Amino acid sequence: MQPLRIAVLTPESRVSAGYHYRVAVPFFSAVRSGRVRLLFPGDGGLSLDAVLAQADVVLVQRMVPVPGWDVAHLVKALRRARIPLVYELDDDLTNLPATNPRRAYWEGKRDAVVRLVSEADMVVVATEALRARFGQENGNVFVFPNHLDPDVLANHGVVRRPRPAGGRALCVGYAGSPTHEADLRQVEAVLADLAARYTGRLSFCFYGCATPALRRLPGVSLRPTGHYYRYLQRLVALGVDVGVAPLVSHPFNACKSPVKYLEYTFAGIPGVYATLPPYAETVRHGVTGWVAATAEEWAAGIERLLADDALRRAMVDAAWAACAGPEARRRLEADRAAYLARLLNLAARREPR
pLDDT of 17 strictly over 70: yes
pLDDT tens, 242-285?
999 999 999 999 999 999 999 999 999 999 999 999 999 999 99
Q: What per-residue confidence (pLDDT) applies to 353?
A: 41
Please give the average per-residue pLDDT across 103-112, as a whole number: 96
Residues in contact with 179: Cβ distance below 8 Å, sequence separation at least 6, in sequence order? 100, 101, 102, 209
Please give the average per-residue pLDDT across 322-342, as a whole number: 98
pLDDT of 352 strictly over 80: no
Evaluate the omega torsion of the peptide bond into residue 278 and state whether it is cis, within 30 degrees of 0. yes
User: Full-prediction pTM beyond 0.85?
Assistant: yes
Overall CATH class of domain 154-324: alpha beta
What gap in Å lies between CA 253 and CA 232, rounded to an integer? 22
Nearest to 276 by CA among 294, 291, 296, 297: 291
Q: Left, alpha or beta for 94 (phi > 0: left; psi -120 to 50: alpha)? A: alpha
How many CA atoms are closer than 13 Å to the CA of 165, on its beta-carbon side? Answer: 1
Question: Would you kindly state where each structural domain of the chain is located, as residue ranges?
Answer: 4-146+329-348, 154-324
pLDDT tens, 159-170?
998 776 665 789
pLDDT tens, 146-159?
999 999 999 999 99
Q: Is the dihedral of CA 38, 159, 176, 147 positive or negative?
A: positive
Contact status, residue 219 vs residue 191, Cβ threshold 8 Å = no
Do the two domains 4-146+329-348 and 154-324 of this chain adopt the same fold? yes
Q: How many residues can be counted in the chain? A: 353
Residues in contact with 70: Cβ distance below 8 Å, sequence separation at least 6, in sequence order? 64, 112
b or e along 155-190 (b: 16 or more beta carbons within 10 Å of the residue's beta carbon)? ebebebeebeeeeeebbbbbbbeebbbbbbebbbeb
CATH of 4-146+329-348, one of 3.40.50.2000, 3.30.1300.10, 2.60.40.10, 1.10.10.350: 3.40.50.2000
Average pLDDT score, the chain = 95
Please give the average per-residue pLDDT across 8-37, as a whole number: 97
Nearest to 78 by CA among 140, 123, 121, 142: 121
